[in-house]
Amino acid sequence: MNADVNVNFVPSSVRNVYCIGRNYRLHAAELGNDVPAQPMVFLKPSHAVTLIADWTELPLPLHAGAVHHELELVLRIGRKVTTGMTADEAVDAYALGIDFTLRDVQDLLKQKGHPWLAAKGVLNSAPITRFVPFPGTSELERMPFSLVKNDATVQLGAAEEMIFPLNALISYVAKHYGLGEGDLLFTGTPAGVGPVQAGDRLALCLREEVLGSCTIADLG
């Protein structure tokens, strides 16, 4: 996409929020999960999305048990996606985001065979940084991104490590669920997920640049 694309963003412009589970082998392994044979897609409500900038305070329901950070590369869809369209054609910008997961709640839901909404869809569970122009698939796949918690790097990955690469994700989601302007696609998390506590400081970094940061607070 063109580098001078308007990347202004407000959460109210979000339509659908698609998320990909278990898209990094080491992450699947660390949770004891099988590697999927096709993309594992779930949804978050658009109301879960919130913009973080410079140490934005981020309230989360810490009283509900363990809340885990899952750093992800987030694609913004800039047009209606049709059959055969690539990520280079469909995506106009990208950001970094966190798929916060109420892990204890999720484990209980899995045992009961219930949907994950209560674990994945709570308010503020999809914070994202500012968006920057999409540089093209081949370049973005090589860019390392990381999560720094309290000055220590806890997650590090790159899109080239994904089980299902960007073009495959765009194709699969568009075919089965539809993709259009204003949709967001959380592309999966690398290994290193872990719990957050009140007062933790999280910086979301692309290479050496901090795209956004937040301080965790208890929603109460």
Structure tokens at 101: 């997961």
pLDDT score for 1:
38
152 sits in which H/E element:
strand 152-157
Give tens-digit pLDDT for 91-102. 999 999 999 999
Pairing label, strands 17-21, 184-186? parallel
Type of residue at 146 = S
Rounded Cα–Cα distance for residues 118 and 139 (Å)? 36
pLDDT score for 12:
74
- CB within 8 A of 97, min separation 6: which ones? 71, 72, 73, 74, 126, 127, 128, 129, 184, 186, 204
pLDDT score for 4:
40
Beta carbons of 95 and 175 less than 8 angstroms apart: no
Type of residue at 129 = T
pLDDT score for 25:
75
DSSP 3-state of 176 = helix
pLDDT score for 31:
67
- Weakly modelled stretches of the chain, pLDDT under 50: 1-6
Rounded Cα–Cα distance for residues 220 and 217 (Å)? 9
Rounded Cα–Cα distance for residues 156 and 145 (Å)? 6
117 sits in which H/E element:
helix 117-120
pLDDT score for 106:
94
Type of residue at 87 = A
The pTM for the full model equals 0.93
**DSSP label of 161:** G
pLDDT score for 29:
65
Type of residue at 121 = G
